[in-house]
Structure 1
Amino acid sequence: MKKVLEFVFWLALVAFLALGALIVFGQLLGVVVLSPGLVDGAASALNWSAFSSATVCALAAFVLQYLPKSDEEGAEQP
């Protein structure tokens, strides 16, 4: 279960960082070429996907904090 959640976390992290970069660079390109449609379109086309992947990443990180640590990860001994 923990390995699956870690995979989901890293996949969602890469996805939302890449989508965020695409939004920013798309808007930057729109500013450089003086195209307001491109500035608005970059955000409107990718916002839902970026926000969704960020939400999945946050939820996976939240759940991972509540899973018990294994001995190899340096769990504290009582």
Structure 2
Amino acid sequence: MRVSVRLTSGHKIELPENVIKKLDLSVNDEIIIEVEDNKLILIKKGNLADRSSEPYYDVWNNTDAEEYLKDEGNSDSNSSY
């Protein structure tokens, strides 16, 4: 899902209703903000997507998932599947 929002003069963004529903957000929920490679990532605190709480976070930090999967798909070691 990709949506466009504007930053207000008070440095705030308003999340569209469909995003709020998709993330099951409620008033006063905490949201973690990550900045990676010029991207702003919002994660509902306590969600399984909270990557910073995973024990192997440092292993995958700085790994581009799309590139990894593309490389895995082109790997000869996967030919036995």
TM-score under structure 1 normalisation? 0.27
* Structure showing greater relative contact order (alpha-carbon pairs closer than 8 Å, 6 or more residues apart): 1
Of Structure 1 and Structure 2, the greater helix share is in 1
Greater radius of gyration (CA): 1
Between structures 1 and 2, the one with greater strand share: 2
